[in-house]
Amino acid sequence: AMVGKKVIYLSNLAPKKMMGIESYGMILSASDWEEHLEVTNIESLPAGSVVK
């Protein structure tokens, strides 16, 4: 359920084939030791904010 969510997208990566699909970037996320995946929450930031 990513529709309508704000995420950090890394787009300056070299193209790479992943699972048979050409990828040009990735969404920043993290997981714990039990593989619970969390997408970085940036709902309060305006679009185009600088990530440091």
Each residue's pLDDT tens digit, 1-52: 677 777 777 777 899 998 999 998 887 777 777 777 677 677 788 888 887 7
Q: Closest by alpha carbon to 27, among 40, 44, 14, 12? A: 40
Residue spans per domain, the chain: 9-39
Q: Tokens 């619970």 — which residue?
A: 36
**Residue 34 buriedness (CB in 10 A; 0-12 / 13-18 / 19+):** exposed
pTM over 0.75: no
